[in-house]
Amino acid sequence: MTTSHLLISREGAVTTVTVNRPESRNALNAGAIDDLRRAALELRHDEGVRAVVVTGAGDKAFVAGADIGELAALTPASARALSQRGQHVFDLLEHLGKPVIAAVNGYALGGGCELALACTLRLAAESARFGQPEVNLGLLPGYGGTQRLARLVGRGRALELMLRGHAIDAAEAWRIGLVDRVVPSADVLPAAQQLAAELADKPPLAVRAILEAVNRGLDMPLADAQAYEATLFGLVAGTDDMKEGTRAFLEKRKPVFRGR
């Protein structure tokens, strides 16, 4: 699955996707976006993959933004199409049906911050920096950033980040809830892969149901979201994994989940 813009490796049930454009601090050009789309579609349908880690090549940047040269050439029509394409790809990652862990190993700016926001969980190196600086280019975030950032950290904090266009360090990102954990820079990828391996060991149907309940339920009225939760609870209760999990608990042994 390795492409001209991505390095893709697999260990057990965990796949690591590395944006591999270190010469441009892993900026997301059109080719990288298309490669992420193809990778997401393949990973979604690969039952052997139960968790995914996304990171950037090198130790300077996770993804430092979009390709400014491409942005400078945009027309209103092509800009709208680019935004829709990026949103589609990041929606695929958010709704992959399995956990996606961002190992943020450096700058996560613009499209890079939006990529991290689309992941299930975010681990940040102490050296990482986050921001949505599009306003400084006369633009706004276009890959879902205006929506995901506000939902994650709240309206006021999101607006300050987007309107000022400044970057914050990993400690501040953790304080406002933008990232879930900050680790020493050398440990960020191993820590993300270890977390992914832990999640990959969980029953995949229950994991998928949890992701669906949260992702979809947050956009529903509470009563509708709880009804959706109850439906998913009923469906998961009929799986072999549920029977194995409860049986293993009663028998005081480790369960073996098979995704059935």
Question: Which residues are catalytically annotated?
Answer: 114, 134
Alpha-carbon dihedral angle through residues 183, 185, 189, 194, given to the nearest 10 degrees:
-30
* Nearest in space to 15 (alpha carbons), one of 125, 100, 90: 100
For the chain, the straight-line distance linking the first and the last C-alpha, in angstroms and rounded, comes to 26
The tokens of 4 are what?
A: 């001209």
Contacts of 189 (CB under 8 A, 6+ apart): 16, 53, 55, 103, 105
